Chains A and B, each alone.
Chain A
Amino acid sequence: MSAPAANIPAANATHLPAASATRANCALYAGIAGLAATVIGLAVSGNVHAVAMSYLVGISYWTTIAIGMLMLVLIHHIFDAGWSVVIRRQFEHGLAAFKWLFVLFLPLVATAFIGGGDTVWPWMNPAHELLHGHGTVATDILYQKKGAFLNVPMFVGATLVFFAVWIWLSARLRKASFAQDTDGSAKWTTMNRKTAAFGIPMNALALTFAAIFWMKSLEYHWFSTMFGVWYFANCIRAALAFGVFIMVWLTARGDYRGILNKNHWHCIGTLGHAFVIFWAYVTFSQYFLIWNANVPEETFWYNLREHGDWYYIGMLILFGHFFVPFLYLLSFRRKSTASGLLPISIWIAGIILVDLCYNILPALKDAHGDPLPFFSLNLLWVAASVIGVGGICVWAYLRSFATSGAKLIPVRDPRITESLTYHE
C-alpha cells in the first residue's frame, strides 16, 4: 500500500498559508505585547529581580517544551518508530523556536554584565551580600569551591553551547525530514538515525547542564544528582502536552482528519501516562532521599519551599502533577480520544509552569532569607513572560508550518504507511 488513497484526487497539499499567516501574526503580536509588558515591568515594578526571574520562568518554560520536542523526534528516529511518523512533523516545526529562544535568552545573559550582575543569579556578583551577615559571594567558601564552574564566562559559554547543540540538531533533523518530502530518498532516514544516535547524549548533557546553570544555581549551595533527570521528565511531559494541542488544533481544522486514529491518540496518552509516573518516580526519589538523610545542606532547599504559601504550591504539584493526571489517564477512553486528552494536557501544561515556578521563584528572598510568598509576587510578570516568549515560539512554529515548504505529514517517510494504518 504505497499510496493508501490513490483514488483520491490530488490536491494542493500546502496548508492554508493565508490563515496560518494570520494566526502567526496574532501569535507574534501577542509575543511582542508580552515582551513589551515584561520590559515595562522592569521599569515600573520596583523589583527588577522579580521581573527578571519571571522572565527566566517564561523562557525556561518554552525551552522545556522545545527540548522535549527535540528529544521526542530523536527518540522517534533512534527507535525507527512507526506510529509516530504522522505527528513527528509538527514537532519538527516546533523545533523552529530554538533560534528565537536563543535570541530571547540573550537579555538574561546580558544581566550578568548589567549593574552588579546579580539580577537573576546571585553568584554572578562577587559583592552580592549573603543573608544573615554571612559575608559576600566572594567570601563564601561554598562559592569559592564552585567558582571554577559558576562564573560568568562559563555560564555564557555553556549557554551558547546549549543553544548551539539544540539549533544544530534541530536544523539537521528538519533538513533531512523536509528534504525527504521532495526526493523520497532513504538516505535522509539514515541521516536522521545517525543524528539521533549522537543527538540523544548531546541533548541529555545540554538539558542537564542547562537545568543546573539556569535553575539549580539560583540557590547555588544546593545540589542534587537527580536534577537533570527531573528536568528531562518535565521536558517530555511538556512536549507531549503541546503535541496534543497541535494535534487537536489540526484535527479540528480538518488537516488531520482521516490521518489520526484512536490508536495514535492512545499511544500519545499512554506515553504521557508513562511519563507522569516517571516524573513522579524521579521527583519522589529526590525528595525522599533528601528528607530521609536529613542533611541541612540539602534539606534547606525543600524547607524554603515549605514556607508560607509555597507549601500549598508543593501540595498542588504533588497532587496536580502526579495524582490527577495519573488517575485521569488510567481510563482507556480518556487517553484514546482527542476530547479526553485535551483537558488533561491543558492541566499538565499548566502544572509544569507551576513546577518551574516552584524551582525558580523561591530564590527570591526577603530580608530574613525566607522566600517571597508566591501570591505576593506580581504574577503578572510571569504571565507576561510566558505569553511573550510563548507568542514568539508559537509564531516560529506557525511560520515554519506555513512557509517551510514541508508537507503536512512526512509523505515519503519509509514508515508513513505503517503510521497511517496504525492499529493495536
Chain B
Amino acid sequence: MSHAAEHTAEAPAILAEVKPAIVPRAVLVAHGRSFSWITEKICGIIEEKTPRWWWICFAVAGFVASWTVMGLTYLVATGVGVWGHHNPINWAWDIVNFVFWIGIGHAGTLISAILCLLRQKWRTSINRAAEAMTIFAVVCAAIFPVFHVGRIWFAVLPGWLFPFPNGNDIWQNFRSPLEWDVFAVSTYGTVSVLFWYVGLIPDLAILRDRFYAAGNKFRSSLYGLFAMGWRGSNRHWSNYEMAYMILAGISTPLVLSVHTIVSFDFAVSLIPGWHTTIFPPYFVAGAIFSGFGMVLTLMLPLRAVYKLEDLITQYHIDCMCKITLATGTMVGYAYAMEFFIAWYGSNPNEGFAFINRGFGHYAWAYWIMVTCNVITPQFFWFKKIRQNTALVWILSIFVNVGMWFERFVIIVTSLARDFLPSSWGYYSPSIVEIFTFFGTFGVFSVLFLLFIRFLPIMPMAELKAVTPEGDPHSGANAHH
C-alpha cells in the first residue's frame, strides 16, 4: 500500500473521513478466469481443427467476394459506363462505398488507439478485432477509388495519383482533397498495419512456442518469423509498451485527419448540402458510430460461437452500446444543425437541398438514414435492450445500413438536384455496381475469417493485465 503511505506522510485531515460508498467496478474478465485459461481459450481457437461452420462461411464469403472480382473485371474490360453514373450524378456508389468502408476502417484504429490513450481497459477484448476490421475495411475502401477510373493503371502507376517526375511536368492537383486522400489513406493504412502488427508480436510468440511444444515446426517457424525473436524480457516489454503508445499517439490524429479529409472531399465544394463547416467532426463522429456498429456486428457472433462471454462481458457490450448511442446522437446533432443552418443561412439552394433530402425523390433514403442513425441507437438507453444480445446485434446491423445511407444521401441527393434544374436527374445503380458493392462484404468476410483462423482475436497479455491477478494493487496480491 505504498500510495497510502505517501498520503500518511503529509495527509490532510479530510482523508480521515474518506469512506467510499460501495459501487464496485465491473470485472473485465468474468468468473475469475486464470492466465492459463485465457491463453488456452484464445490459442485454442487457432489450434483447434478448423470447424465446419468456418468452412461454410468461408465458402459463402468467397462466393460473394467473387461478385466483386467479376464486377471489376467487367468494368475494366468494358469501361465505367457499366455503372449507373450519368450527368449530373457522376459520383455515386463508388464514392458512397468508399466513404462507407473508410469510415469503418477509421473506426477500428480510432477505437483501439483512443481507448488506449484514454486508458480504457475494457478495450482489451475488442481492440484486436477492431484493428483487423480496420485493415480489411481499408482494403475494401481502396477498391473503389482505384477502379472508378476504369483504366486502373491510371490509378496505380506512378504519376497519376502519386507524384512522379515526368517529361511534361504534369503534376497532380495538390489543392484537391482527393489528392490529399491518396496520401492520407495510404499513410493511415500503413500506420494501422503497424499498430496492429506491433500489438500482435507478443501473442505471435506465444503461438510460436505452443506450436513448437506441440511439434508443429512449420507453424512454429512461421509464427516465429513474425514474432521477431520476442522473448518476453523486461526490455522487450518496455520497448513494446513505448512503441505501442507512440503508435497509438500517431494513429489518433491520423484517424481524425483522414476522415476530416474525406469530409473535405465534399465540404470544400459549393454543392448545396456539401458545403457546411461542421462536416469534419460530423464525419469523425459518424466513423466512430459506424465502427462500433460493425464491431458489434462482428464480435457478438464470435462471442456466441467461441463462448467468449467471460472475455466479452455484458459490461463490454454496454460500453459499446453507450458509445454507439453517444456518437449516434452526435450525428443526429449534426443532421439537425445542418438542417437548421440551411434554413437560418437563407440560401435558397441550401434550403432546397435539405428540403429535397427530407421530402424529395430520395426522401426514402433520408428517412432510412435518420431512422437507422438517430432513432435506432436511442434504444440503447434501455438496459434491457443492451442485455439482449440478439437485439443488439440486429440494431448494429441497422447502424451499418444507416451509415451507408448517410453517404448515399449526402452524395446522391445533392448531385441529383444541383443548381441547374435543367440538368437534374435520378440515379439508380446498375446491376454491376450492386454486385460489386455487395461483393466487398464477401472480400471483407474472407479476410476476417482468415484472421479468426490464424491470428489471436484478442491480445492475451493485455487481457491478463486487466484481471485481478494482473493488478499489483488487487487484494490477491496486496499481501505479497
Chain B 223-250 interface mask (CB, 8 Å, partner A; 1/0) = 0000000000000000000000000000
Q: How far is the CB of A359 from chain B (nearest CB, A)?
A: 14
Using Cβ atoms and an 8 Å threshold, which residues of chain A touch B18?
2-5, 409, 411, 416-417, 420
Say which residue of B260, B269, B278 sits within 8 Å of A225 (CB atoms): B278
Q: Verify if A60 is at the interface (C-beta below 8 Å from B).
A: no
| A225 & B338 in contact (Cβ 8 Å cutoff) | yes
| B16 & A10 in contact (Cβ 8 Å cutoff) | yes
| A416 & B20 in contact (Cβ 8 Å cutoff) | yes
Interface majority SS (helix, strand, loop, mixed), chain A:
loop
Using Cβ atoms and an 8 Å threshold, which residues of chain B touch A80?
25
Q: How far is the CA of A331 from the CA of B464 in the complex (A)?
A: 32
Using Cβ atoms and an 8 Å threshold, which residues of chain A touch B4?
1, 4-5, 421
Q: How far is the CA of A228 from the CA of B277 in the complex (A)?
A: 11
| A13 & B17 in contact (Cβ 8 Å cutoff) | yes
Specify the chain B residue showing the minimal Cβ separation from A188: B21
Specify the chain B residue showing the minimal Cβ separation from A270: B117
Say which residue of B1, B278, B329 sits within 8 Å of A201 (CB atoms): B329
Q: How far is the CA of A295 from the CA of B278 in the complex (A)?
A: 16
| A261 & B346 in contact (Cβ 8 Å cutoff) | no
Using Cβ atoms and an 8 Å threshold, which residues of chain B touch A11?
13-14, 16
Q: How far is the CA of A408 from the CA of B4 in the complex (A)?
A: 19
Q: How far is the CA of A281 from the CA of B256 in the complex (A)?
A: 9
Q: Verify if A282 is at the interface (C-beta below 8 Å from B).
A: yes
Q: How far is the CA of A229 from the CA of B282 in the complex (A)?
A: 10
Q: Verify if A186 is at the interface (C-beta below 8 Å from B).
A: yes
Q: Verify if B9 is at the interface (C-beta below 8 Å from A).
A: yes
| A223 & B12 in contact (Cβ 8 Å cutoff) | no
Chain A 284-298 interface mask (CB, 8 Å, partner B; 1/0) = 011001101101010
**Contacts of B1-55 to chain A: CB distance below 8 A:** 1, 3-4, 6-23, 25
| A297 & B275 in contact (Cβ 8 Å cutoff) | no
Q: How far is the CA of A3 from the CA of B4 in the complex (A)?
A: 9
Specify the chain B residue showing the minimal Cβ separation from A222: B345
Q: Given A293-B275, A421-B4 in contact, is the A254-B15 Cβ separation under 8 Å?
A: no
Using Cβ atoms and an 8 Å threshold, which residues of chain A touch B381?
197
Specify the chain B residue showing the minimal Cβ separation from A230: B277
Chain A 5-20 interface mask (CB, 8 Å, partner B; 1/0) = 1111111110000000
Q: Verify if B103 is at the interface (C-beta below 8 Å from A).
A: no
Q: How far is the CB of A286 from chain B (nearest CB, A)?
A: 5
| A417 & B281 in contact (Cβ 8 Å cutoff) | no
Chain A 46-83 interface mask (CB, 8 Å, partner B; 1/0) = 00000000000000000000000000000000001000
Q: Verify if B432 is at the interface (C-beta below 8 Å from A).
A: no
Specify the chain B residue showing the minimal Cβ separation from A256: B12
Q: Given A277-B253, A281-B280, A290-B277 in contact, is the A185-B21 Cβ separation under 8 Å?
A: yes
Using Cβ atoms and an 8 Å threshold, which residues of chain A touch B60?
none
Q: Given A149-B344, A289-B279 in contact, is the A258-B12 Cβ separation under 8 Å?
A: yes
Q: Verify if A403 is at the interface (C-beta below 8 Å from B).
A: no
Using Cβ atoms and an 8 Å threshold, which residues of chain B touch A180?
21
Specify the chain A residue showing the minimal Cβ separation from B268: A292
Interface majority SS (helix, strand, loop, mixed), chain B:
helix
| A7 & B8 in contact (Cβ 8 Å cutoff) | yes
| A189 & B344 in contact (Cβ 8 Å cutoff) | no
Specify the chain B residue showing the minimal Cβ separation from A224: B277
We find that the number of chain B residues with CB closer than 8 angstroms to chain A is 50
Q: How far is the CA of A409 from the CA of B10 in the complex (A)?
A: 16
Using Cβ atoms and an 8 Å threshold, which residues of chain A touch B9?
258
Using Cβ atoms and an 8 Å threshold, which residues of chain B touch A295?
270, 275
Q: How far is the CA of A116 from the CA of B236 in the complex (A)?
A: 74
Q: How far is the CA of A417 from the CA of B22 in the complex (A)?
A: 11
Q: Given A184-B21, A414-B23 in contact, is the A289-B275 Cβ separation under 8 Å?
A: yes
Say which residue of A146, A184, A258 sits within 8 Å of B10 (CB atoms): A258
Q: Given A142-B346, A145-B346, A277-B253 in contact, is the A414-B10 Cβ separation under 8 Å?
A: no
Q: How far is the CA of A208 from the CA of B14 in the complex (A)?
A: 39
Using Cβ atoms and an 8 Å threshold, which residues of chain A touch B334?
225
Q: Given A2-B19, A146-B346, A226-B278 in contact, is the A293-B12 Cβ separation under 8 Å?
A: no
Q: How far is the CA of A13 from the CA of B267 in the complex (A)?
A: 56
We find that the number of chain A residues with CB closer than 8 angstroms to chain B is 68
Q: Verify if B222 is at the interface (C-beta below 8 Å from A).
A: no
**Contacts of A232-272 to chain B: CB distance below 8 A:** 254-259, 261
Q: Verify if B341 is at the interface (C-beta below 8 Å from A).
A: yes
Q: How far is the CA of A281 from the CA of B4 in the complex (A)?
A: 41
**Contacts of B47-75 to chain A: CB distance below 8 A:** none
Q: How far is the CB of B21 from chain A (nearest CB, A)?
A: 4
Q: Verify if B333 is at the interface (C-beta below 8 Å from A).
A: yes
Say which residue of B15, B280, B333 sits within 8 Å of A420 (CB atoms): B15
Using Cβ atoms and an 8 Å threshold, which residues of chain A touch B324?
none
Say which residue of B277, B279, B337 sits within 8 Å of A208 (CB atoms): B337
Using Cβ atoms and an 8 Å threshold, which residues of chain A touch B256?
281
Q: Given A4-B7, A146-B346, A423-B3 in contact, is the A411-B341 Cβ separation under 8 Å?
A: no
Q: Verify if A321 is at the interface (C-beta below 8 Å from B).
A: no
| A3 & B16 in contact (Cβ 8 Å cutoff) | yes
Q: How far is the CA of A423 from the CA of B267 in the complex (A)?
A: 43
Specify the chain B residue showing the minimal Cβ separation from A12: B13
Using Cβ atoms and an 8 Å threshold, which residues of chain A touch B15?
3-5, 8, 258-259, 420
| A225 & B277 in contact (Cβ 8 Å cutoff) | yes
Using Cβ atoms and an 8 Å threshold, which residues of chain B touch A356?
none
Q: Verify if B347 is at the interface (C-beta below 8 Å from A).
A: yes
Using Cβ atoms and an 8 Å threshold, which residues of chain B touch A12?
13
| B8 & A5 in contact (Cβ 8 Å cutoff) | yes
Q: How far is the CA of A225 from the CA of B16 in the complex (A)?
A: 50
Specify the chain A residue showing the minimal Cβ separation from B10: A258
Q: How far is the CB of A254 from chain B (nearest CB, A)?
A: 7
Specify the chain B residue showing the minimal Cβ separation from A423: B3
Q: How far is the CA of A184 from the CA of B321 in the complex (A)?
A: 30
Q: How far is the CB of B17 from chain A (nearest CB, A)?
A: 5
Q: Verify if B97 is at the interface (C-beta below 8 Å from A).
A: no
Q: How far is the CB of B167 from chain A (nearest CB, A)?
A: 32
Q: How far is the CA of A42 from the CA of B237 in the complex (A)?
A: 67
* Top 3 closest pairs, chain A to chain B, by CB: A11-B13, A225-B278, A414-B23
A-binding residues in B (CB < 8 A): 1, 3-4, 6-23, 25, 253, 256, 260, 264, 267-270, 275-281, 329, 333-334, 337-338, 341, 343-347, 381, 473
Additional A-B contacts beyond A228-B337, A289-B267, A297-B347 (12; CB < 8 A) = A2-B18, A4-B11, A10-B17, A141-B346, A145-B343, A225-B337, A258-B7, A286-B277, A289-B276, A289-B277, A293-B275, A412-B19
Some 29 contacts from A to B, beta carbons below 8 A apart, are A4-B8, A5-B18, A6-B16, A8-B8, A10-B13, A11-B13, A184-B19, A184-B21, A224-B278, A224-B341, A255-B14, A258-B10, A258-B12, A281-B281, A285-B260, A286-B277, A289-B264, A289-B275, A290-B277, A292-B268, A293-B269, A293-B270, A293-B275, A295-B270, A412-B21, A414-B20, A416-B20, A420-B18, A421-B7
